Structure 1
Amino acid sequence: MFYSVLEDGIRKTDEKSFFQEKKGICVLPLEEWWENPAWKERFLIWHNVDSVHYCKMESYRDFLFGTVCIPAKGKREKESGFAIYILKNYVLLLDQDGRAKEQVAKLSKEVVRKEYSLERFVYDFLQSFLSDDLLFLEKMEQEIAAIEEDILEGRVEHFSFRMLQIKKLIAKFYHYYCQLTEIGEELLENQEGFFDKEEIQFYGRYTDRVSRLAGETQLLREYAMQVQEVYQSEIGIRQNDVMKILTVVTTIFLPLSLVAGWYGMNFAYMPELSFRYSYPAVIGVCLLIVGISLVIFKKKRYL
C-alpha cells in the first residue's frame, strides 16, 4: 500500500504516483520484501531484514532501520511487530502480521494538522501503538490490588500462579518500553540529518512518554513485590497460629503426661494403688489441671 504526504495528513495513492512524487509512505508485507528483491532495488536499500524479535533503531549512511516487537497484552492477543526504513523522502514499513497496515490506514483517515511531514508521520505512527497502554497498565494495577484484597480476606488459592503471570507481563512491558526509549533517543540524535530540526521535537515528546510508561511499569513491579511480601506475611501469620495451637495443646497435656508417667511406675508400695478413690481422684486432678491451664491461656489471650 502506498500513501502520499499532504499538508493535512496522508492519503492513499497508487504505486505509479507514489514513485513519481518521490516522497511518501510504503507498507509491504515482510514476506514480500524477502521474496521479491526488486523492492530493494527500487528503494536502493542493500540491507537485509531478519525476523522481528525486539525493538531497536540503527543509523546508517543512507537510512535509519528499526524493528518494533509489540508484546501481547493478554492471552487472546498475539505478539505483533514490524520493521521500518526511514529514508530522506520515504518511509518504508515492512509489516509482519497486518497491524502496521491497520495503523497506517487509520492515520490516513484522520485530518491531523497543517504542514504535515514524514517526521510527523513517524511520530504519529509510533505513538499510535501506545494509545491504550496507560489504560492497560491501570487494569494491571487493579488486578494486583484485587489479588491483595483476596490475600487480606484469606483467599490465597492460586496466588503464586496469578502473581507469576502478572510479574512476567510487567517485566515484558518494562523491557519493551526501555527499548522504545532507546529508539526515541536514536531518532532524536538525528546523526545523518534525515529529519528537519524544527520537526525533530516530536521525538523528544515520544521519548518522554515512553519513559513515563517505563516508570509506571517499574512502579507496578514494586507494587507486585509489596503484595508478594504481604502474602508471605499472611502465610507467616497462619503458621504462627498453627504453632500457637500446638503449643497450647502440648502445654496442657504435659502435666497430664507427668501424672500418667508418675503413676505408671511399677513400685510395690505406692499408697494410692490400694486407695479406693485413687482413680476418681486422679481424674479430678487432671481435669483441674486442664481447667487451670485453659483459664491461664484465656487471660493471656492465647485462645
Structure 2
Amino acid sequence: MDTTHRDLERDIERIDAMLHADEAPRGRRAAKGGGSEDESGRKGGRRSGREAAAARIEVIDLGEVDGLGIEDKDVLRTLRELATSHSTFAEAYAGCFAGSVYLPEAPGATRKRVHFGFFLDDARLALLNIDGAYSGTAEGALTDDLSSYPSAPRALYELLRHLIREDFLRLVDVEGELSDIEERIIAAPSRLRGEDGRILRRRRELMRLNGAYQQLDELASTIAQDDDGLLPRTDRRLFNTLSQQAQRLSAKAQYLREYCVQLIELKDARADARRDATNLYLTVVASIFVPITTITGWYGMNFSNMPELSWEYGYATVIALSLVIIAAELAFFKWKKWL
C-alpha cells in the first residue's frame, strides 16, 4: 500500500511540474514565431497578455458581497443565496462565473469539511467564506500562493486541485480497509461484531463523497465550456483535466459503495450458511435417534404376549439392533455428505 502511495504522489508531483513548466515554453514560442499578439489571442480564446498578469485574489465574508462592485443583479442574487447552498456548482453569466464549493470531510479526516463561494471574472477571483467552513486548509495554505498564478481561473483551478489532491489515496486506503473486513468475514464470520455498523458508516461517507465529486465534475465542465471566451485555452484545458479527475474519483467512490453492499451481503450469506449448518447438524442428530425412540416406545408397551420380553437374549438383541441402525444411518449421512 505504501509503495502505491509513493508512486501516485510522484506522478502527481511530475504532472504538477509539467503544468507549471508549460507557461514559459509557450511564451517563447509565441515570441519566436513573430505572430501578432491579437493573432495569438484569437487562437487561445483571449489575449495572451492577460495570462502574464498576476491573479487578483480576494477573501471576504459572504455579507461583504455588495462591496465587490458587481452590477449584475442575477449574479448578486446567486452569491447572496450561497448561505443556504450545500452543494458544488458554477453558473455562467456574461463575463463571469459564480458558484459554490462544498466538499464533505475526506476519509480518514485528511480534509475537513470545506464550504465557500466564489466569483470569477477575467481579472479577479473572490472567495466567499460561508458559515466559517472555509477552513484553514484552503485559506491559510493557499490564498497567498494563489496570487502568484498568471490568471484568476488558473488560481481557482489550483485551489480546487489542492482540495482533492489526496482523495484518491484515501479512497485506496478505504478499499484496503474493506478488503481486510472481507478477509475476516471469510476466515471467521462468527467473531465479527459491529462490522455492519462500520461498513454502513463507510457507505454513507462514500455516498456523500460520490455526490460531491459528481457536482465538482459539473462545475469544472461548466467553466471549461466557457461560451463567452473568458478563459485562456490553457485554463480551459486545465478545467477539463479537473473534470476528468472528478469523474475518476466519483467512479472509485461508487465502486467502493457497491463493495460495501457486497460485504454486507457476504456477511449475511456466511451467517445464513452457519445457521443452516447448525440446523443440519441438529436434524441429523434427531434423525439418528428416531428409530431408537421407536424401538423404545414399541417395547415399552409391555404386553404379556410379547415373546422378546421373556427371551434370554432379548435385551442384547435390541442393543445390537439399535447399534446397527445407528451405524447404517451414519454411513448414509456420510454418503450424502450431510456430516
TM-score by length of 1: 0.80
Provide the rounded CA distance (Å) in 2 between the counterparts of 1:133 and 1:22: 29
Secondary structure of the residue aligned to 1:235 is helix
1:24 counterpart = 2:60: no
- The residue that corresponds to 2:70 in the other structure is 44
Provide the rounded CA distance (Å) in 1 between the counterparts of 2:261 and 2:219: 29
CA contact (8 A) 2:55 2:147 kept: no
Shift of 1:65: 1.6
Secondary structure of the residue aligned to 1:93 is strand
Provide the rounded CA distance (Å) in 1 between the counterparts of 2:258 and 2:56: 44
Provide the rounded CA distance (Å) in 2 between the counterparts of 1:157 and 1:90: 54
- The residue that corresponds to 2:138 in the other structure is 103
Provide the rounded CA distance (Å) in 2 between the counterparts of 1:42 and 1:300: 82
Please list every run of 5 or more consecutive structure 2 residues that lacks an aligned counterpart in the other structure.
1-22, 25-52
Secondary structure of the residue aligned to 1:199 is helix
CA contact (8 A) 2:206 2:253 kept: yes
1:226 counterpart = 2:262: yes
Which of the numbers 237, 256, 264 marks the counterpart of 2:300? 264
Provide the rounded CA distance (Å) in 1 between the counterparts of 2:146 and 2:115: 26
Provide the rounded CA distance (Å) in 1 between the counterparts of 2:60 and 2:68: 13
Structural mapping, 1:210-289, within 5 Å: 210-265=246-301, 267-289=303-325
Provide the rounded CA distance (Å) in 1 between the counterparts of 2:330 and 2:283: 13
Provide the rounded CA distance (Å) in 1 between the counterparts of 2:119 and 2:147: 23
Provide the rounded CA distance (Å) in 1 between the counterparts of 2:101 and 2:57: 17
Shift of 1:112: 9.9
Q: In 2 relative to 1, CA 89–158 (structure 1 residues): closer, same or farther, beyond 3 Å?
A: same
Shift of 1:141: 0.1
CA contact (8 A) 2:120 2:152 kept: no
Which of the numbers 99, 104, 108 marks the counterpart of 1:66? 99
1:54 counterpart = 2:80: no
CA contact (8 A) 1:70 1:80 kept: yes
- The residue that corresponds to 1:83 in the other structure is 117
Deviates more, 1:128-137 or 1:219-228: 219-228
CA contact (8 A) 1:52 1:83 kept: no
Structural mapping, 1:86-165, within 5 Å: 86-96=120-130, 97=132, 99=134, 102-107=137-142, 110=145, 116-154=150-188, 155-165=191-201
Q: In 2 relative to 1, CA 86–264 (structure 1 residues): closer, same or farther, beyond 3 Å?
A: same
CA contact (8 A) 1:95 1:101 kept: no
Identity percentage over the alignment? 27
Provide the rounded CA distance (Å) in 1 between the counterparts of 2:70 and 2:129: 19
Spell out, residue by residue over 1:22-77, the C-alpha distance to the aligned partner (whole angstroms, 9 max, x if none). Answer: 97111123xxx32x5xx414432632132341111122335322111111135867
- The residue that corresponds to 1:13 in the other structure is none
Spell out, residue by residue over 1:143-163, the C-alpha distance to the aligned partner (whole angstroms, 9 max, x if none). Answer: 110110110111332232121
- The residue that corresponds to 2:242 in the other structure is 206
Shift of 1:185: 1.0
Spell out, residue by residue over 1:75-126, the C-alpha distance to the aligned partner (whole angstroms, 9 max, x if none). Answer: 867533111111332211112335455424433565998x711121111011
Provide the rounded CA distance (Å) in 2 between the counterparts of 1:201 and 1:294: 74
Shift of 1:171: 1.3
Provide the rounded CA distance (Å) in 1 between the counterparts of 2:137 and 2:172: 25
Secondary structure of the residue aligned to 2:193 is coil
- The residue that corresponds to 1:4 in the other structure is none
For this pair of structures, how many residues does the alignment match? 278
Deviates more, 1:95-104 or 1:281-290: 95-104
CA contact (8 A) 1:188 1:200 kept: yes
Spell out, residue by residue over 1:125-153, the C-alpha distance to the aligned partner (whole angstroms, 9 max, x if none). Answer: 11111111011100110111011011011
The one-letter code sitting in structure 1 at the alignment partner of 2:162 is: S
Q: In 2 relative to 1, CA 92–100 (structure 1 residues): closer, same or farther, beyond 3 Å?
A: farther
The one-letter code sitting in structure 1 at the alignment partner of 2:329 is: S
